[in-house]
Structure 1
Amino acid sequence: MSVFAVTYVYSPDAERLDAFRPEHRAFLGALHEAGSVIVSGPLKADDAAPAGALILLDAPDVAAATALLEDDPFRREGLIAERGVREWVPVIGSLGR
């Protein structure tokens, strides 16, 4: 399997993000339990970029990595303004896998 770095840029609708966050986290938690999500967490907004997330996935290819996140409640509810999926090749360090 390969590692894929998925980045989300969230919609600016903080109220709806808060409303669907528990379902979003449960969804990602289930993927973690299944072994697909390696690690996930928010990217805080700053002067250079809006709020979003970074998710590292274990998947056979980019299509499979993308498909894993199709049912994310944030995506379903239109709360992801942008999503990027790229293969990531760790060279130094360990993911503890």
Structure 2
Amino acid sequence: MAVFAVTYVYSPDAERLDALRPEHRAFLRALHDAGRVVVSGPLVPDDGAPAGALIVVDADDAAAAAALLDADPFRHAGLVTERTVREWVPVIGSLAR
């Protein structure tokens, strides 16, 4: 398995994001409990950058990392306007391999 950094850019529809946030977090928490999501959290909007998220996952490849998150309730509702998946190689810290 490899480590992948997945970033989301969220829709500016704060009301819908707030309404679905409990389902989104439950989905990610289940993946964490299954050992697939290492860590997840919001990226705060700053200096014109939109709100989003960083999700670090264990997967065999980038396609598997993306597929793992395809069922995210935010994604199904069209609230993820952009998603990137990049392999990440931590060399220092608790995630270093």
TM-score interval, normalised by the smaller of the two chains: over 0.9
Q: Deviations over 1:26-49 (max 9, x none)?
A: 000000000000000000001141
Moved >3 Å (runs of 4+): none
Q: How far off is 1:96 after superposition?
A: 8.0
Match of 1:20 in 2: 20
Match of 1:40 in 2: 40
Q: Deviations over 1:2-53 (max 9, x none)?
A: 0000000000000000000000000000000000000000000011411100
Give the secondary structure class of the aligned counterpart of 1:95. coil
Give the secondary structure class of the aligned counterpart of 2:78. coil
Work out the CA distance in 2 between the residues paired with 1:96 and 1:46.
28
Match of 1:84 in 2: 84
1:52 correspondence with 2:48: no
Work out the CA distance in 2 between the residues paired with 1:79 and 1:29.
19
Stretches of structure 1 lacking an aligned partner (at least 5 in a row) = none
Work out the CA distance in 2 between the residues paired with 1:69 and 1:53.
12
Stretches of structure 2 lacking an aligned partner (at least 5 in a row) = none
| Overall identity of the aligned pairs, in % | 77
TM-score after normalising by structure 1: 0.96
Letter in 1 for 2:88: W
Q: How does 1:57-72 map to 2 (within 5 A)?
A: 57-72=57-72
Work out the CA distance in 2 between the residues paired with 1:48 and 1:40.
22
1:3 correspondence with 2:8: no
